[in-house]
Amino acid sequence: MARRQKSAPPEDYTENIIEIDVETEMEESFLEYAYSVIYSRALPDARDGLKPVQRRILYMMTDMGLRPDRGHVKSARVVGEVMGKLHPHGDSAIYDAMVRMAQDFSLRLPLIDGHGNFGSLDDGPAAARYTEARLAAPALTMTDHLDEDVVDFVPNYDNQLTQPEVLPAAFPNLLVNGASGIAVGMATNMAPHNLGEIIAAARHLIQHPDASLEDLMRIVPGPDLPSGGRIVGLGGIRDAYASGRGSFRTRASVSVEQLSARRTGLVVTELPYTVGPEKVIERIKDAVTAKKLQGISDIVDLSDRTHGLRLVIELKNGFNPAAVLDQLYRFTPMEDSFGINNVALVDGQPRTLGLVELLQVYLDHRILVVRRRTSYRLRRKRERLHLVEGLLIAIVDIDEVIQIIRSSDEAAAARTRLRAIYDLSEVQADYILELRLRQLTKYSRVELEKEQHQLRLEIAELEAVLGSEERLRTLVSTELAELSGTFATPRRTVLLESEAAAPLKDHLPAPGRTAKAVLPLEVPDDPCWVLLSTSGQLARTSTREPLADGQRSRHDVLTSVVASTARGEVCAVTSAGRMIRLQVVDLPALPPFNGTPNLAGGVSSKEFITLERGERLVGLAALTEVVALGTVQGVVKRVQPEYPLNRDDWEIISLRPKDAVVGVATASDQDQLVFITAHAQLLRLPAAAVRAQGRMAAGMTGMKLSAGDRVLHFGSVAGGDDRAVVVTVTAASAGAPDAAQGSAKVTELEEYPVKGRATAGVRAHRFLRGEDALALAWAGHGPARAASANGVARALPTEHGRRDGSGVPLTQRIDAVGPSLSGLVEAPDAGSAVSTAPSVPPRAAAPDDGQGTLL
């Protein structure tokens, strides 16, 4: 390897070493670097709300003609133009800024219309060579009128091109879309707002320059995040609007839904700002694995482009949804904190601004833009008017003008002669000389005078705007109102003053109390009522408070009401003699409705009970009490509460061929049992006359039936109940021309004598002409309620008839009869009130029309 020899310095060489203090050099270099980062990269300008890279992207896309009414172009082409002409930095920084301006979950009003994969909250975008972009409609208002000298232009990095120092910004972009950035020694983090609210506040500030913060906050109550959600607690927002610094909590929008008959779930439709569903799912799974979260059985992401975000969190049975949600807020990003730090550049210096200052800086900029635009237009109108006046002078003698031009040796001589003869200015003479001959001939005096008049009117209007500060501010306000009408959208984020006003507020802690004391994680074993209706709807009440008959005409007649607890068990009895165990906690809990449970929130019994063909649900019963069964053939059986503990269903009676259970009821020794047959025979016998048997026994003869007769109703009545009634409704004969029911009668049960077991009973209803059998029958604690098959209330006779008398003719069909709620809970031994009524085919709960007296 050759060794290079050092050459001697020239003879006139003088060594001059300058000593520089390292500390001073570091300070100066660091300050220069910090200022460059603050001013040229990280912080937005308070006037247009844009960082330099964002401003350059929008300006270059405008210069390229990428308007909303034209096609998309490759993002890589835009990035290359910006990088090569205006922004000499890495292409990834330019593309990242461009992508953010196209994301509707990042900006409240996106400025770029992206085509392709521009990323999500959980995933990044595709490469610039795969995506396409063009300007969105709101971006045009940011760059509009740039050609009218509305802002100053500055040289680019190599002094070959120019770029706008700031964009005209027809709306307060900084407040509408927010901003975030980290500079050297400072950072900014600004929340997005609703465009309509911000413009309304800006217009209010134009009309009332001395408006206070409280005045503006009546218009802008808080941020409006692109992802929606809920903001809980507004104290931090007030601080941020006053001083420029503050924080607030954002929460996901969650609703409790019945996913199936046995499963309840929390459905998340909106998440906090900048939080993605995959992040939430991962944190929930980690918290469940670490046993921080309880009561969650599964989580499924059902989000799609059509319906948006839908995150379903399935809960285990017996867990309080509000308590689980409280855990989710504490241990997952479903509740997040947003810190506001309103730092922006004002006159090249970083400042922390409140709401009033932010709006004022923008309005000052916008007023200056409109003033410069008006001045530019006035100047151009005056220049055009000057040319038109010259043409009007020349067109009077157009032939002589042409002759002067033709006879002149050169343009300078023609210009001099025109100015001398017609007293034209140099500009007017040049304009006439530059016109082609055919352009001269097309002008007519009338057209020019019309244009002259119009120009003078426009010049007067522009001068009036420039001459009046009030008119100028009014013009700015009007343009803001027009833009708001075009682009404003409804508010997405719900603002809640405190946690007590949050969703599921009935389950949230009261002020001054902890959530742990008010929100038990599992459903407490509180007393409740279990309800079954004639249409097969099952539900439970949230408490066992006294029930009242609500004014509801379109709902079910109740078949059974059983006292239980929220974590207890009841049983369902079918016509085939099967008893099926039901967990009360699996049933949907009904919220109170003016003291009356609303069974529209129940679910069909088919979701819990699988019936064989021809089998139907008869009623509910308590597992801890003696119950009585009655069959179609008149068999009666009282069953001891000795049921298998390891099975969910079992036989409770051995039925004869073609026999079926028709009713089930609680029956202690003090109660009375009632049979009513289709031939209108009623048997009332003491329950003590029927000894209790095991569940495999076949029962005993309860009522003696005549040939062709069958039991229509079986139930129990508490002993000594003086309010018990019997309701009978007849059917028309098979050959009768009217297929409607015949008559109805209400009789006091006390009128019927107590008979012994295996007797035929007594007559309960005398048939009229065209009647030969009962269609419906019911006996129980009064008053009774009746309804049609679709749940519409039907009237029963108000006066009690004789037991051996006929009924009152019906004008409307009755398909179900049952007890009133007040009758059930006021009856003796109401702790396990059970009543039965003939079932009608299951139907959907009909809407409430506010009339009648049925539940």
pLDDT value at position 220?
A: 95
In contact, 133 and 73? CB cutoff 8 Å: yes
**Count of other CB atoms within 10 angstroms of residue 202:** 26
Share the mean pLDDT of the chain: 84
Residue 407 has pLDDT above 60, yes or no: yes
Lowest mean pLDDT among 235-239, 251-255, 816-820: 816-820
Question: Residue 683 phi/psi, 5° resolution?
Answer: -120, 125
pLDDT, mean of residues 793-807: 82
User: What fold does the segment set 250-339 form as a domain?
Assistant: Gyrase A; domain 2 (3.30.1360)
**Bridge pairing between strands 253-258 and 494-496:** unpaired
pLDDT digits (tens, 9 = 90+) for 328-363: 998 999 999 999 999 999 998 899 999 999 999 999
Q: If you average pLDDT over residues 134-154, what whole number do you get?
A: 95
Cβ neighbours, 10 Å, residue 469: 11
**Number of other residues whose CB lies within 10 A of the CB of residue 67:** 16
DSSP 8-state secondary structure symbol assigned to residue 42:
I
Q: Is 1.20.140.10 the CATH number for 368-487?
A: no
Structure-block tokens of residue 588 = 């949907």
Third-level CATH fold of 527-832: Neuraminidase (2.120.10)
> Cβ neighbours of residue 105 under 8 Å, at least 6 residues apart?
120, 121, 226, 227
For the domain 36-169, what is the CATH superfamily, name and number? Topoisomerase II, domain 5 (3.90.199.10)
**Which uninterrupted H or E stretch holds 698?**
none
Largest Cα separation within the chain, whole Å, is 147
- The pLDDT of residue 573 is 93
Q: Read off the tokens for 339.
A: 């810190």
Q: Which of 190-199, 535-544, 590-599: highest mean pLDDT? A: 190-199
pLDDT value of residue 501: 46
**Could you read off the pLDDT of 835-851 as tens digits, one per residue?**
444 433 333 333 333 33
Give me the phi and psi of 439, to 5 degrees please.
Answer: -75, -35
Enter the tokens of residue 258: 């019945």
Enter the DSSP assignment of 41.
Answer: I
Q: Which residues are catalytic?
A: 130
Look at residue 45 and give its three-state secondary structure: strand
Q: What percentage of the chain carries pLDDT values higher than 90? A: 49
Q: If residue 215 lies in a helix (H) or strand (E), which one and from where to where?
A: helix 213-217
| CA 377 – CA 369 distance, rounded (Å) | 12
What pLDDT is stored for residue 850 in this prediction? 31
For residue 498, the model assigns a pLDDT of: 67
Question: Regarding predicted confidence, which is higher, 815 or 123?
Answer: 123
Q: What is the mean pLDDT of residues 64-76?
A: 95
- What mean pLDDT comes out for the span 771-791? 82
Residue 855 banded pLDDT, cuts 50, 70, 90: very low
pTM of the model: 0.71
Q: At what angle do helices 52-63 and 91-100 cross, to 10 degrees?
A: 80
Contact (Cβ atoms closer than 8 angstroms) between residue 700 and residue 690: yes
Q: Does the pLDDT value for residue 517 go beyond 90?
A: no
Residue 608: pLDDT above 50? yes
- Evaluate if residue 505 carries a pLDDT over 50: no
Residue-level pLDDT at 827:
45
Give the pLDDT band of residue 145 (cuts 50, 70, 90): very high
Say which range, 181-185, 200-204, 228-232, 390-394, has the weakest mean pLDDT: 181-185
Residue 598's pLDDT band (boundaries 50, 70, 90)?
Answer: low
Q: What is the pLDDT of residue 185?
A: 79
Cis preceding-peptide flag for 490 (omega within 30 of 0): no
Domain boundaries, the chain: 36-169, 250-339, 368-487, 527-832
Residue 106 has pLDDT above 90, yes or no: yes
Q: Determine the residue type at 307.
A: H
Distance CA 540, CA 261 (A): 13
In this prediction, residue 593 carries a pLDDT of 52
Q: What digits encode the pLDDT tens for the residues 724-737? A: 899 999 876 544 44
Q: 61 or 821: whose pLDDT is higher?
A: 61
**pLDDT band of 830, cuts 50, 70, 90:** very low
Q: How far is C-alpha 350 from the geometric centre of its chain's CA atoms?
A: 38
**Cβ(711)–Cβ(764) below 8 Å:** no
- SS3 assignment, position 356: helix
Q: What is the structure's pLDDT at 444?
A: 76
Is the distance from CB of 135 to CB of 331 less than 8 angstroms?
Answer: no
The DSSP 8-state label assigned to residue 703 in this structure reads: B
SS (H, E, C) 142-199: HHCCHHHCCCCEEECCCCCCEEECCCCCCCCHHHHHCEEEECCCCEEEECCCCHHHHH
Per-residue model confidence as pLDDT tens digits over 13-60? 777 888 888 887 787 777 777 767 777 788 999 999 999 999 999 999
Q: What is the C-alpha separation between 667 and 674, in angstroms, rounded?
A: 11
Chain centre to alpha carbon of residue 853: 35
The DSSP string of 348-415 is: TEEEE--HHHHHHHHHHHHHHHHHHHHHHHHHHHHHHHHHHHHHHHHHTTHHHHHHHHHH-SSHHHHH
- The answer for residues whose C-beta is within 8 angstroms of residue 434's C-beta and 6 or more apart is none
Give the pLDDT of residue 533: 81
Does 108 score more than 90 pLDDT?
A: yes
pLDDT tens, 541-585? 877 765 554 444 345 677 888 888 888 889 999 999 999 988 888
pLDDT at 596 over 90: no
Looking at residue 1, its pLDDT comes to 46
257-274 pLDDT per residue, tens: 888 767 888 999 999 999
d(CA 127, CA 226): 24
The strands making up 762-763's β-sheet, listed across from edge to edge, are 711-717, 672-677, 681-686, 762-763
Residue 373 scores a pLDDT above 90: yes
Looking at residues 765-773, what average pLDDT do you find?
Answer: 86
Q: What pLDDT is attached to residue 378? A: 96
The least confident of 179-193, 425-439, 480-494, 825-839 is 825-839
pLDDT tens digits, one per residue of 662-694? 999 888 888 999 999 999 999 999 999 999 988
- Look at residue 846 in the predicted model and tell me its pLDDT: 34
Say if CB 496 and CB 329 are below 8 A apart: no
pLDDT at position 791: 66
Quick one: 835 exposed, middle or buried, by C-beta within 10 A (0-12, 13-18, 19+)?
Answer: buried
